[in-house]
Structure 1
Amino acid sequence: MNPADHVGTEPSDEEVILQALRILRARFQERDVFASPDSVKDYLRLQAQGLPYEVFAVMFLDSHRRLLAYEPLFRGTLSQTAVYPREILKRALAVNAAAVVLHHNHPSGVCEPSRSDELLTSTVKASLALVDIRVLDHIITSDFGALSMVERGLL
């Protein structure tokens, strides 16, 4: 094949990101997603990269901590999102999840959890515990980094 045939056919950044997400999703479906906490953070950062609004999503995991689904459940504004624990619980039961990782982004670039982030995490954890679904972590991402509430001792 002639190298000139590839001129102007380089994939866009969006196509590269989508391909990376497909690869990461396949890896998470094959093994325990917590084999590498940094890979989980990278995966979640890619999911919300560049968004100008907050998204609250959930990684639903099976009993071997393999990824069943990653689903953005709530969309908000630049600085807040309304999250309903009942809807998270309903979806977790529907996909037969044994555990979850909560995720939301901070478009401001600052990954520090707010007091409302901490309260929400506690509420969701208590709600899911009633039906034996564990909250393994709540990860906050931005275009510049990621914060694990477990690593911070907040969960």
Structure 2
Amino acid sequence: MDKKQLDFYQKLRNEVKQWVSKKLDKDNKWSDYILIAPDIFHLLCKLSIDKEVSSGKKVKLVAAIAYFISPIDLIPEGLVGPIGYLDDIAVSAYILNDLINEVDPRIVRKHWAGEQDILDLIKTIIANADKMIGGNLWNKIKSMF
């Protein structure tokens, strides 16, 4: 990651971290998920330009990136703050799960900047998505992507 990208990534991570510490109870069960939003976004961007990822998978990755940055989505950050990243994280996990079922997992791990194991994290997000964002929204996301 070049310096400019690193600066943006660190700035985003710090903003999310500050928001979580000020706005959410420290025991909020979704805080850890919100805190990984910058790491997930970074991963999507890196994978979308990786030569080892097929163009078909890149289209899905770009769709997840577009969903992440769109001000209009199922839980808009502009209205609810960073808790609105929960649906973005669910979309990303859904698309990343599809990707890791067809590519070597080392490709995904190579670009992961987070602390947890990304493959375990994706499985955990998928398993908890209906509780995290609600079953109706989760089903809608799965039908969209």
After TM superposition, the score normalised by the length of structure 1 is 0.28
Larger Rg: 1
Between Structure 1 and Structure 2, which shows a larger proportion of strand residues? 1
Between Structure 1 and Structure 2, which shows a larger proportion of helix residues? 2
After TM superposition, the score normalised by the length of structure 2 is 0.29
